[in-house]
Amino acid sequence: MNDTDFRKLKDEVTAYVNGRLREWSERIEETGECGPDVWQELRERGYLRLAAPTEYGGYGLSFTQYLQLLELFSQSHGSIRMIVHVMNGIWRPIDFLANEEQRERFVKPIVRGEITAAFALTEPDAGSGADIKTSARKEGDEFVLNGEKWLITFGDTADYLMLYARMEGTKGYEGTLALLVPRKAEGVQINVMPPTLGLTGTGHAHIVLKDARVPADHLLGEVGQGLAGALNGFLDPSRVCVGMTCVGLAQRAFDLAVERSRERVTFGKPLSQRQVVQTWIAEMATDIEAARQLVLYAGRLKDEGALTPPPASMAKLYALEMLQRVTDKAQQIWGGIGYFKGYEIERIYRDARAQKFEEGTAEIQKAVIAKHILAGE
């Protein structure tokens, strides 16, 4: 998208975030639900196909353009930013392995919003990598799956599960495969998980597979390519995106903190005139901008086709730890009332904890970074 059109779109999203989405955010917190009308409005406005190519029905934004809009959406409610983030990215791992027939049958309809998919990798007794245990075996023109997945965002409502398993008797990356599993397929049991601390209204599923049967033509790529598709097609760009969601949420916490520091008077002085608060504000502003620039650097690498795991993990690691520092200081500026429900800063404080788990913990990011440095890459 050219610069002029992008500026118009960015202004439109800014107004939407500061208007309509503030109303949605209050309703979601009051009701505990992020209803289908929210999804429908985001879809109708085209905000769930921003990052996809125009030939797929998307807006064709560059990755760095998309990141700038994602920062804005992340200044709204946690569930709303989750919808925008996941739906703008889930087509990538599918497209990474899909053949042309599957691209027409699955990828383009997902971009257009005609069907939905959820990313199903994490398991109760395994992490999100080569230790997955969900097994598959081939019987005729079907794969038969057994195992469990949990913490699957939107797994309770998605039409398909972008699910990763391994052929029976294999280990490591060997034998891993990616399948698009219909949520209502025989042998698929969907259990809705308890509500989360934050991200009110976002549904998560615990999926139990008992001899679940999936047509063989739902296999994406080849057996043995599953985890490579998950990591290269999804996790690296998604880690960069999560980094930007941290920037957006931190920016909102910062703005609320600055506003509060001017309003709140103690011992005859606004907090904004206290040196310690000024120090916090300076530290917060610097922290946010440093994270923003690191994320955008990784975004530019993605646009150039040069994104590798280390800069993706660095962006996510620094941004998520920055978010914890900023939200902690922001709530401190608000004081005790900022701990009470009904105040946006309290919700932000809860929502901020979620990013520490999304697309790998800080410890995972450090392991990725160190592995590549020590390998001389």
| Rounded distance between C-alpha atoms, residue 139 and residue 145, angstroms | 11
Query: What pLDDT sits at residue 128?
Result: 65
Cite the DSSP H helix spans in 19-98: 20-31, 36-44, 63-73, 78-87, 91-97
Is the pLDDT assigned to residue 208 strictly greater than 80?
yes
**Phi and psi at residue 348, to the nearest 5°:** -60, -40
Higher pLDDT, 172 or 4: 4
pLDDT band at 339 (very low <50, low <70, confident <90, very high): very high
Given the residues 71, 123, 346, 359, the one annotated as active site: 359
| Rounded distance between C-alpha atoms, residue 350 and residue 302, angstroms | 30
Asked if residue 292 lies in contact with residue 281, where contact means CB atoms within 8 angstroms, the answer is no
Least confident of 72-86, 230-244, 318-332: 230-244
pLDDT band at 235 (very low <50, low <70, confident <90, very high): confident
Active site residue 344: no
pLDDT band at 194 (very low <50, low <70, confident <90, very high): very high
Strand partners, 353: none
% pLDDT > 90, the chain: 92
Query: What pLDDT sits at residue 55?
Result: 96
pLDDT band at 13 (very low <50, low <70, confident <90, very high): very high
pLDDT band at 233 (very low <50, low <70, confident <90, very high): low
Is the pLDDT assigned to residue 259 strictly greater than 80?
yes
pLDDT band at 230 (very low <50, low <70, confident <90, very high): confident
Least confident of 9-13, 56-60, 161-165, 234-238: 234-238
The pLDDT tens digits of the residues spanning 116-175 come to 999 999 999 876 677 899 999 999 999 999 999 999 999 999 999 999 999 999 988 889
Query: What pLDDT sits at residue 130?
Result: 76
Query: Which residue bears the tokens 């029976």?
Result: 168
Secondary structure element (H or E) that encloses residue 205, with its range: strand 204-215
**Mean of pLDDT values over 212-226:** 95
Identify how many contiguous H helices and E strands the chain contains and give both numbers. Answer: 14, 10
Q: Is 203 helix (H, G, I), strand (E, B) or coil?
A: coil
Secondary structure element (H or E) that encloses residue 296, with its range: helix 275-303
Is the pLDDT assigned to residue 227 strictly greater than 90?
no
DSSP character at residue 123:
B
The pLDDT tens digits of the residues spanning 16-67 come to 999 999 999 999 999 999 989 999 999 999 999 999 999 999 999 999 999 9
